[in-house]
Amino acid sequence: DDHSVGLGLPALGGLPPFVNSFQSVAEFASPYQHGEVLWHNCFDYRCLELFLDNVRQLSDRFEAYYHEAMIIPALNLLAARPGRPPRRVLILGGGDGGIASIGLRFDTVERVTLLDIDASVSRISRRVFRGVAAAFGDPRFRAKHVDAFSWVRRRGMRAKELGGAFDLVVIDFTDSPH
């Protein structure tokens, strides 16, 4: 397997060409993709990484840079609106729970809803990447494992099933080199 694709740049957790020290921790196959969690050397640090279809999606060494950048600027911008702090967040994709976990650090956020097609990603994240998946233990969080595109197309962004309109929608679909 070629685990050198994904984030790509060594500074962002990509695999330097001279490092080939992967050790499998867990593996799964779902109807949507093949997943594997691997230990490897991230420079001076031993890190856990999640690969989906041989593409690096998550590194516990660098995940905060990605997840924080995806939600904190938007929540801060929305919080600056007088009298209307962001209360309800919808995440399309993001089955590892990382963006949801960061969003739930904001005390104004009352509800985070995640729509992700692959429950296997959520299960492995809860098992192996517990800090990233902390949202799954928060009562303000709920996950639906559905095709987010189809779900939104059929029900819209104000779906009563999810409790109405959202203040913020974050899209975190799988990275793919194709």
The token duo for 176 is: 């793919």
Counting every residue, how long is the chain? Answer: 178
Indicate which residues carry an active-site annotation.
Answer: 172
Say which amino acid occupies 154. R
Question: How many CB atoms lie under 10 A from the CB of residue 121?
Answer: 27
Cβ burial, residue 76 (10 Å; 0-12/13-18/19+): exposed
Backbone angles phi and psi of 127, in degrees to 5: -80, -40
Q: What's the CA dihedral at 20, 54, 72, 103 to 10 degrees? A: -110
